[in-house]
Amino acid sequence: MTLNFDNKKIRLFFVSVMIVALYAVFSMTANQGHAQISPLLNDAGATTIALSVQQTSLNLDLDIVTAESEQIRHKVALQRFYEARDNQPYWINDSGVHSRAEAMYKIIDEAWTHGLNPHDYHYVDIYNLLEKNDRQSLADLELLLSDAFVRYAIDLSGKRLEPSALGLEMEGWKVPLNAPDVTHILLAHDFDAALDMVQPKGQTYRALRRELIRLVNQGPGEKEYLLPIEFTGILRPGSGHKAIPKIREYLGLEALKYNNTTYDDNLAAAVIRFQKENGLEADGVIGSNTLEVINRTNMRKIEQVIVNMERLRWVDTNRGDKFVIVNIPSATLWAIEGGRVAFEMPVIVGNPVRQTNLFNAKINGVRLNPDWTVPPTIKKFDILPKLQEDPGYVDDKGMELIQGYGADAVTLDPHSIDWKNISVRDLHSIRMVQVPGDHNPLGRYRVLMPNRHNIYLHDTNHKELFSRSERALSSGCVRMQNPRQMIDFLLKDADNMWDGDAVDSTLATYKKTDIDLNRTVPVSLLYYTTWLDDNGDIVYGNDIYGRDQKLLHLLRNIDGVFIPVHNERYTGARSDAHFSYNQ
């Protein structure tokens, strides 16, 4: 390696991977010239910073400064960032530390309010370096702040995990910015504007961030230190149980004299209100689901908020002006048009054994008078046992048994098949198709949204199930309470001939009819266990598929989960110590 110096500038030839140009300030009592810095990576991997300040009055060059620091993740991008700035520093100025460096430290200090871990952004080292003013420390600070901003922006802007780690499809989730994207934003915009461009902005995200701050400020409640309430079976109004006094206490009711163990009307009203606020069936009956939420600690709520903020960052908000969202845990569908909710409706989603998959797709049409081809799982585990008891079951349900396709397809007589000894292969070769009609499980409408899971939105012949608050009841597909509302919403993007009268007349024929849309409509089936109610208040719902803890475990493995301890309340100022760091 050769370094050639003259009185005008330093010329550096990079050995190994050159990472970035840096600046450090040298305080002088004499006239001060222009400063330039360029770092390189030596063979041992340490950051080497070459620094020179031309001091015309003293006519000398400063020595090369070497600094050992944390691993810099985004070396190539930062090298190009500083080259684009003519090797001028971003966080340091002639007076020492620029105000934006203090601002960036504050942002790192508050990264936990996004569910992120400040220690992923050189938190401790940056804090220590801010207290120093020697040229090596300032050079290290410049580099670490740039690297921290890039990593922070990447983490805020999209998924931090591979979807496959959660059993999800790889496609359709928001891809985070890469390091060159981030440095380009920083070059093209001032600091505040650059930060705003990478911050999530959705209403639900902002509400969850405020809730996370509130929960940490609140500190642990007494439930953190008490054994959970336990009992078997269910408690109904009018019944008695020794757990009743503790349930009253947990729900904020005054204790009754003589430690009364009767489930009275006052407690029933509090339970119903609590169930409504937490997305449970508001029937006043305390079963396992209600008891689990009653026992939920403040720390459990904090973890629930963190995993849902993570999920929100996975979803691309640039879906266009018309799209459909289904949240599986709340069993709710929203149709969005022009930035507003066109309508919201209850839906029925897959049960915990036959779960509704999470994915993104495109709606390309609708089907009136759908027939229903029985899925393999339902055919094997639901229909076959009934056929073994009574081969006439398919006739009663209006089903046809079809083998083969097209011109080779033949209709089979159910009484001619030995259902008790049928092989798996032969069963698989038989298609069970239920003809269109009011008795069809798909009802009269189906939304066409091709996907590899064969999951779709449809009508149902069991409308009574929508009266339930907990609606994880289907075999995977999503049943709509008001399918006609959805069909009319979608058909605005079909040919003009498909008005309400045309739909009604087609339905009356009971003939399967597909209608193509002129443009596709995005649809996302998502999984949020916290959401906003109609008043904008946060609902802590049930984790119906047990996905929260799996995601939390993965986040702990990649970055740790960082939560300030309860005696260091969030104030927006530096919180230098006393943090709980869960790895």
Highest mean pLDDT among 217-226, 272-281, 541-550, 565-574: 541-550
What confidence tier does 39 reach under pLDDT thresholds 50, 70, 90? very low
Closest of 38, 23, 18 to residue 142, by C-alpha: 23
What confidence tier does 130 reach under pLDDT thresholds 50, 70, 90? very high
3-state secondary structure 71-114: CCCCHHHHHHHHHHCCCCCCCEECCEECHHHHHHHHHHHCHHHH
Q: What is the pLDDT of residue 276?
A: 84
Orientation of helix 123-130 relative to helix 135-156, angle to 10° = 140
pLDDT tens string 433-452? 999 998 899 999 999 999 99
Q: Is residue 163 pLDDT above 60, yes or no?
A: yes
The three-class DSSP label of residue 122 is coil
- Which of residues 211 and 139 earns the better pLDDT score? 211
- Contact between 364 and 451 under an 8 Å Cβ cutoff? The reply is no
- Contact between 449 and 385 under an 8 Å Cβ cutoff? The reply is no
Q: What is the pLDDT of residue 156?
A: 94
- Contact between 358 and 168 under an 8 Å Cβ cutoff? The reply is yes
The three-class DSSP label of residue 571 is coil
User: Kind of pairing, strands 513-526 and 478-480?
Assistant: unpaired
Orientation of helix 99-109 relative to helix 135-156, angle to 10° = 50
pLDDT tens string 350-402? 999 999 999 999 999 999 999 999 988 899 999 999 999 999 998 888 889 99
The three-class DSSP label of residue 518 is strand
Q: What is the pLDDT of residue 30?
A: 33
| Enclosing H/E stretch for 331 | none
First CA to last CA distance, the chain: 41
Q: What is the pLDDT of residue 259?
A: 67
| Type of residue at 24 | A
Q: Output phi, psi for 306, to 5 deg.
A: -60, -45
| Type of residue at 10 | I
Tokens of 31: 């006239």
Say how many C-beta atoms besides its own lie within 10 A of residue 264's C-beta: 15
pLDDT tens string 93-124? 888 899 999 999 999 999 999 999 999 999 99
What confidence tier does 575 reach under pLDDT thresholds 50, 70, 90? very low
Closest of 291, 280, 296, 292 to residue 241, by C-alpha: 291
Closest of 94, 90, 105 to residue 142, by C-alpha: 90
Q: Is residue 27 pLDDT above 50, yes or no?
A: no
Q: What is the pLDDT of residue 173?
A: 87
3-state secondary structure 468-492: CCCCEEECCCEEECCHHHHHHHHHC
Tokens of 469: 């608050």
Tell me the chain's radius of gyration from C-alpha atoms: 31
- Contact between 317 and 242 under an 8 Å Cβ cutoff? The reply is no
Q: Is residue 49 pLDDT above 80, yes or no?
A: no
3-state secondary structure 417-452: CCCCCCCHHHHHHEEEEECCCCCCCCCCEEEECCCC
Rounded Cα–Cα distance for residues 458 and 551 (Å): 30
Burial 52-72 (b: 16+ CB within 10 A, else e): bbbbeeeeebbeebebebeeb
- Contact between 509 and 375 under an 8 Å Cβ cutoff? The reply is no
- Which of residues 399 and 59 earns the better pLDDT score? 399
The distance between the two most distant Cα atoms of the chain, rounded to a whole number of Å, is 107
In the chain the domains, ranked by start, together with CATH numbers, are 3-188 (no CATH), 318-371+435-526 (2.40.440.10)
The strand pairing partners of 96, in sequence order, are 93
Q: Look at 143-147, 219-223, 263-267, 470-474 and tell me which has the smallest mean pLDDT.
A: 219-223
- Contact between 295 and 223 under an 8 Å Cβ cutoff? The reply is yes
Tokens of 332: 């709710």
Tokens 């509090």 -> residue: 270
Rounded Cα–Cα distance for residues 101 and 130 (Å): 9
* Active-site residue set: 458, 477
- Contact between 178 and 210 under an 8 Å Cβ cutoff? The reply is no
Q: Is residue 523 pLDDT above 80, yes or no?
A: yes
Q: What is the pLDDT of residue 10?
A: 27
**At a CB cut-off of 8 Å and minimum separation 6, what does 30 contact?**
55, 57, 58
pLDDT tens string 322-336? 999 999 999 999 999
Mean pLDDT over residues 465-477, rounded? Answer: 92
Closest of 201, 205, 216 to residue 310, by C-alpha: 205
Q: Is residue 548 pLDDT above 80, yes or no?
A: yes
The three-class DSSP label of residue 262 is strand
> What secondary structure letter does DSSP report for 297?
-
- Which of residues 238 and 407 earns the better pLDDT score? 238
DSSP 179-223: HHHHHHHHHHS-HHHHHHHHS---HHHHHHHHHHHHHHHH---GG
| Enclosing H/E stretch for 155 | helix 135-156
What confidence tier does 175 reach under pLDDT thresholds 50, 70, 90? confident
Q: Is residue 484 pLDDT above 70, yes or no?
A: yes
Cα distances (Å, whole numbers) of residue 502 to 282, 448, 483: 40, 19, 16
Mean per-residue pLDDT over the chain, rounded: 82
Q: Is residue 177 pLDDT above 70, yes or no?
A: yes
Q: How long is the chain?
A: 583
- Contact between 552 and 307 under an 8 Å Cβ cutoff? The reply is yes
**At a CB cut-off of 8 Å and minimum separation 6, what does 295 contact?**
223, 228, 229, 250
Q: Is residue 36 pLDDT above 90, yes or no?
A: no
What confidence tier does 256 reach under pLDDT thresholds 50, 70, 90? low
- Contact between 356 and 525 under an 8 Å Cβ cutoff? The reply is yes
Q: Please state, for a pLDDT cut of 70, what percent of the chain lies above it.
A: 83
Mean pLDDT over residues 458-484, rounded? Answer: 94
- Contact between 317 and 328 under an 8 Å Cβ cutoff? The reply is no
Q: Output phi, psi for 253, to 5 deg.
A: -95, 155
Q: Output phi, psi for 124, to 5 deg.
A: -65, -45
